[in-house]
Homo-oligomer: A and B are copies of this chain.
Amino acid sequence: MNKDKTFAIVGLGLLGGSYAKGLKEAGYKVYGIARRQETIDYALEHSYIDEGSTDTKLVEKADVVILCLYPSIMIDWLEANKQYLKDGAIVSDISGVKASVVKPIQDILEGQNNEFISTHPMAGKESSGIEYANTEMFLTANFIIVPTEENTQHAIDVMWEVAEILKFHHISILSIQEHDRMIGFLSQLTHVIAVSLMNTHDDEKLVDYTGDSFRDLTRIAKINENMWSELFLFNKEILLEEITSFQESLQDFKDTLENEDTNKMKELFIQSTSRRKKFDK
């Protein structure tokens, strides 16, 4: 990508900070916008950005604007600041749910010469905030571009290049429906299970006997309550369906145990073993 291209990162949290760091290290001019001046100061001190401001007007300098905000805030932010966007600037995001945000944002930008192309970098950490910014987490992560029929090939290409610059492990393209269904199962349902398991008992004595299997299963029960409640509500219908499917599978196993149907139980184990092997790295 032409090194004259300039980027604005709106929201300098864990992911926004990491994006800024990665793009700046690759030689691009990066503008940073954040609510708090101390975040801007931190980003400047660590050379994550070339210029920063709490004034959203700074966005007018950028060819590519990446919104690194919570979904609900993102929509309001764009509504309030769309007039500052440079003519022809491409706008993107990082949000983990798509159906509830992509169309509303494309509607907001209708009538002006700015294209919104949605992406989902499947990277993250337990900790939030720019102090934890790092580009290493991209090296093993998926980057998903989620275009609609309103998007141009050019915008898709630009974000594909951004993912390459940030050194994402795997880049792919999914429709909104494919994306939200996949996230509902692989990411959201797993968090619902871990949280529900952790909330089943309150028995501190168990800690002494905990092995790796319980630890592995519940690691993601440590969860950012603000971000995840929003992600779940934005993908509510699909997530409810995924929970129901899992409940049916669980009840099926329970019935098998209740009936002491050893042969069927073994079949369920053999099936889960064979399916899981495909997921080994």
Contact = CB atoms under 8 A, between A and B. Distances in A.
Interface of A: 122, 141-142, 144, 170, 172, 182, 185-187, 189-202, 204, 206-211, 213-226, 228-229, 232-233, 236, 239-240, 242-254, 257-258, 260, 262, 265-266, 268-273, 275-279, 281
Contacts of A208: 142, 170, 172
Nearest to A264: B229
A229 B261 CA distance: 9
7 contacts: A170-B208, A190-B217, A215-B281, A221-B272, A224-B269, A243-B250, A247-B251
B213 A185 contact: no
Given A190-B213, A232-B265, 4 more contacts: A199-B268, A199-B271, A210-B279, A229-B269
A120 to B, nearest CB: 10
B276 A142 contact: no
Copies of the polypeptide in the assembly:
2
The 10 closest A-B pairs by CB, nearest first: A225-B269, A198-B272, A225-B266, A221-B272, A195-B272, A221-B276, A196-B250, A216-B216, A196-B249, A200-B249
B190 A228 contact: no
Nearest to A140: B212
A193 B246 CA distance: 9
A260 B240 CA distance: 11
Contacts of A236: 257-258, 260
A276 B246 contact: no
A274 to B, nearest CB: 9
A247 B245 contact: no
A118 B12 CA distance: 57
A219 B216 contact: yes
A218 B186 contact: no
Contacts of A199: 249, 252-253, 268, 271-272, 275
Contact of A249 (B197, B242, B246, B262): B197
Contacts of A228: 269
Contacts of A252: 196, 199
